[in-house]
Structure 1
Amino acid sequence: MVPAEQPAATGNVYLVGAGPGDPGLITLRGAEVLARADVVLYDYLANPQLLQHCRAGAELLCLGQHGRGRLLTQQEVNERTIAAASAGKSVVRLKCGDPTVFARAAEEIGALVAAKVPFEIVPGITAAFAAASYAGLPLTQKEQASAVAIVTGQENPEKTGERLNYGALASFPGTLCFYMGVTSAREWSRGLLTAGKSPSTPVALVRRCSFPDQQVWQTTLGEVAAFVEQTKLRPPVIIVVGEVAAASRDWSWFDQRPLFGQRIVVTRPAHQAEDLLAPLAELGAEVLLQPAIEIGPPADWSPVDAAISKLNEFHWLVFSSSNGVHYFLQRLWSLGKDLRTLAQAKIAAIGPGTAAELEKHSLRADLLPDEFRAEALADALKGSARDQKFLLLRASRGREVLAEELTAAGGSVEQVVVYESRDVAQPASEIAPLLSAGKLDWVTVTSSAIARSLHAMFGDQLHKTKLASISPITSATLRELGLQPAVEATTYTMPGLVAAVRSSAASLLR
């Protein structure tokens, strides 16, 4: 007899606080449960970059966005969450801010308890606290505010219990933080004023706190409703009411960073983009990823394998990129060999990025040129190139200058392709419209291959932005394509490119 199938054990549900917007503000626990979730149901205000923590194959469901299709009802959210958990799946319900602050957690918890579904609440940074920190508005001060109240600007119209007591709020000895208070600004401000709160009470409005386009305004309680209406302010906004809202704008560290307000596109392959994404974001830029090329293994490993079989014949192994290091050493290991195979040869690296990749594998470059390009590497090697055998570990495309100069200097050169570089044909959906509208401040260009791919992808639209080139070689390629770089790095590295953009942005502000 075939045993009956056992029902799947009920999965766990995690109510996770996504924080206010900056993806770096999620907790370690939140990132951990996202990484192992089978299903993620997320609010549209949760930064989509947080979904990068999710594993490949996880089911990701946005619960809808105001003005863009239908929002799922709370009942539908509860049903989908419980259905997924009942099927034995690990479910993350990703909520903006903190799950227990104006996020309808009580309704979801009640449904989970009724369905006997195990759950965990993972706290997040709530928007009021984040807005205060990112706008430089300390919510408490020993002389001005000894308490903080978190207040909704949108009460449930079907509420049967006691509504907001504006008399108590008006006499509250501290700071009031209103959530969802934009469309109801006239109502709650009138309530406070009628209850006796002074019209000169400072008010600060923080829109999209912790996002690269955060905005902060200061007004007064008597003027806030008119201000909201005149500026046609739209959510998400946190409104801070109280003496602390008059803090000097010099305290607002977030929007004083050198690249704040700049929208920058990074065009490196996705797996290599972080060394530009992170430092640019740290300087305040809104950074978008649009890979122009993809990197992968060669279609045919046999030339590489043949070279590996005779490594003891070469005097020099020459790496012209970190990708070459990665794919070559990966192949070496897959063939059952290790670093001992390289003992007879010296190693040359074109620049510090390539040398750093070697160091990850406990290898030191014997030679690193002063200037990080092929001509400088050739100059450093060709003085003693005669009768030396060089193995150049390279990409599927690139210039021949290194091989030509070493051969001319009397060296014996063998080249093998250890990785392929392929153009990305289609841009990400959000990039082309922004470029066409002139809403991209910078596009980084870190190689000639990327320059050509970008030109094939966007053509003359690239004249609508500023191009940041990593080197004279890349700049020359851009000019051949009819494009003029706005800046060129003086040090041909990722930090050098970041420095060039930062310097140019600073000069525009002077």
Structure 2
Amino acid sequence: MKTGKVFLVGAGPGDVGLITVKGMEAIKQAEVILYDRLANPKLLEYATGDCELIYCGKLPDRHILRQENINDLLVEKALAGKIVVRLKGGDPGVFGRVGEEAAALALYQIPFEIVPGISSGIAAPLYAGIPVTHRDHAESFAVVTAHDKSKEGKPLLDWEGLVRGVDTIAFYMGVGNLPFICENLVNQGKPASTPVILIQWGTFGRQKTLQGTLADISEKVLKAKFTNPAIILVGEVISLREKISWFESKPLYGRQILLARTGESVSGMAQHLMDQGADVIEFPKWKKTVLPVDLKKVSSYDKILFTSPESVGEFFSAVFENGVDIRKIHADFFGASTKSVKALNDRGFIAQLAEEMPETGNLLIVGDDSILRRNSENANLMVTSKKELDFQFLPIFKRMLEEADGNTMVFPSSASVEPFIEALRESDIDTVELLKDLQVVSMGKQTMAAVEAAGLPSHGMPEKATKEALVDYLAGHLIKDV
């Protein structure tokens, strides 16, 4: 059997847009991905549907997989001929133990590549409005581990060298050792008034910061119950934050949104919300199997209704693959949503929404197997694909919920409500309990009616069912205490 290959990939600090092009290409071709806690799980959605996902997450008080087990798994999967991605938060060469993993692969002569990533020690400060160097404030920068592998976990560092030779210091994952860090820096001559900032979950929408000085930051952390994962930044350059903070000025900064999903890929709405500063968890994750279709009678219909953008692509792919001349299809095209209409428009067809469809004429409804559940006495059905819950993502979703502090729920369509509830049931999560403290927003009257009919809390809707109107609504309505 041919040996596979391993890519040791830096996932970046959290914002999925910060992964490198090469890192994303590795994810898309992977057959196995071993991923860490600090690698944004949303990156896994770019993997193929049959990719094996293995969680290697580590917490201070427990290890899911120990490093030696991770090394063994990388070797085992590669020797089985697989393309393997080891997905690590930040940059794999910065406290990522990539050297140990690469050495294990080299021992078995397994080909591998190391793909750098953006390190949290640089990215998190920038998202907080702080460049780690500045010619007026800081000409040097150091990244430092804030704990070691000793029993006490106190880092053995050249404290005198750090104070004398470095202007800006980024300590990684050091909240528990913060008093020890501050004490040693002050003892070696760093002024007690030196600015310090802690940046938790840097570059995520849930990013939080806490600012102080070497003299008072430890007490502030205790009061705020501030925890890892966090970067501790020390240096005068922090003073620039007041002038150039940009990320926290975005309209949806602080919004942690749970978005009900009906499609297989990351939605345009989710991307737009993230661009405006929100954290977005899409649920559920679906996987699809494209089915063969019978196109013999397709030219006999007066109207064709497409239930989703995906069904548009599946239909026309089948038309092409079966050698059907599109000019022989005389039907008027309709979409069940604005996204479906746009998918038709993008292919050069004038299409209208379903509510504008006349009652007369032969109707063909095109969509995935969910259309089999609808009342279609006056229409024929063409099932282009089978959509089912991707059970591999259920534990991933649970971990995402645990890490986040959700405050907003968005239902984009009435068709998203029931699948969302069913998928939560599969995850042993009670929908009402999950949403009881969240601001629940519906996209349109029909969606709100479906939400209320399901017995779920409902708090309003934007003026129009567009992603731009949704951003305006969320920015203008404070998160409710419900």
TM-score normalised by L of structure 2: 0.81
Whole-Å separation in 1 of the counterparts to 2:315 and 2:109: 53
Q: Secondary structure at the match of 1:124?
A: coil
Kept after mapping to 1: 8 A contact 2:6/2:78: yes
SS at 2:176 equivalent: coil
Structure 1: runs of 5+ lacking an equivalent:
1-7, 404-413
Between the aligned partners of 1:334 and 1:440, the Cα distance in structure 2 is 44
Q: What does residue 358 of structure 1 align with? A: 344
Query: Does 2:363 match 1:391?
Result: yes
Deviation track 1:174-210 (CA, whole Å, cap 9, x = no partner) reads 2111123222222222221111111001111111111
Q: CA deviation at 1:250?
A: 5.4
- Counterpart Cα distance in 1 of 2:450 and 2:170: 53
Q: Which residue of 2 aligns with 1:406?
A: none
Q: Using the alignment, how far apart are the partners of 1:453 and 1:496 within structure 2?
A: 24
Q: 2:185 aligns with which of 192, 198, 206?
A: 192
Larger radius of gyration: 1
Cα displacement (A) at 1:146: 1.0
Question: Mapping of 1:416-435 within 5 angstroms?
Answer: 416-419=380-383, 428=394
Deviation, structure 1 residue 328: 3.9
What SS does the corresponding residue of 2:281 show, helix, strand or coil? strand
Q: Give 3-state SS (helix, strand or coil) of 1:61's partner.
A: strand
8 Å CA contact 1:293, 1:449 repeated in 2: no
Moved more, 63-72 or 19-28: 63-72
Tell me, yes or no, if structure 1 residue 325 matches structure 2 residue 298: no
Whole-angstrom distance in 1 between the partners of 2:263 and 2:335: 23
Match of 1:271, SS state, is: coil
Q: Unaligned 5+ residue runs, structure 2?
A: none
Contact kept, 8 Å, 1:149 with 1:175, in 2: the verdict is: yes
Distance 1:333 1:90, change over 3 A: closer
Corresponding residue number in structure 2 for 1:407: none
Residue by residue, what CA displacement relative to the aligned partner does 1:407-465 show, whole Å, maximum 9, x if unpaired? xxxxxxx62223499897999568799999x9643332333343455567656545543
Deviates more, 1:470-479 or 1:123-132: 470-479
| DSSP 3-state at the match of 2:192 | coil
Q: Identity across aligned pairs (percent)?
A: 30
Determine if contact 2:201/2:207 at 8 Å carries over to the other structure.
yes
From 408, 428, 432, give the equivalent of 1:442. Answer: 408
Structure 2 Cα separation of the partners of residues 423 and 125 of structure 1 = 35
Deviation per CA, 1:334-387: give whole Å up to 9, x if none: 543132222x44445566423321134x3321x54xxx561xx15xx58xx7xx
Cα separation, 2, equivalents of 1:156 and 1:459: 42
Quote the offset at 1:482 in angstroms.
5.2
Is the Cα contact below 8 Å between 2:264 and 2:285 reproduced in 1?
A: no
Change (3 A) 1:482 1:131: closer
After superposition, the Cα gap between the structure-2 partners of 1:446 and 1:373, relative to the gap in structure 1 and judged at 3 Å, is: farther
**Separation (CA, whole Å) in 2 of partners of 1:349 and 1:42:** 39
- 2:35 and 2:88 in contact (8 A); partners too: yes
Q: Counterpart in 2 of 1:410? A: none
For the pair 1:95 / 2:81, whether they are aligned, the reply is no
Is contact 1:321-1:349 (8 Å) kept?
yes
**Equivalents in 1 of 2:205, 2:77: separation in Å?**
35
Alpha carbons of structure 1 residues 9 and 357: separation in structure 2 relative to 1, 3 Å: same
- Give me the CA root mean square deviation: 3.9
> What residue in structure 2 maps to residue 409 of structure 1?
none
Is residue 3 of structure 2 the alignment partner of residue 18 of structure 1?
no
CA distance in 2, matches of 1:243, 1:55: 46
Equivalent-residue separation in structure 2 for 1:116 and 1:459 (angstroms): 50
Q: Is the 8 A contact 2:198 2:210 kept in 1?
A: yes
Task: Say which SS state the counterpart of residue 14 (structure 1) adopts.
Answer: strand
- After superposition, residues 479-498 of structure 1 pair within 5 angstroms as 479-481=452-454, 485-498=458-471
CA distance in 1, matches of 2:115, 2:74: 16
Q: What does residue 290 of structure 1 align with?
A: 283
Amino acid at match of 2:115: V
Of 174, 179, 184, the residue aligned with 2:172 is 179
Query: How many residues get paired?
Result: 464
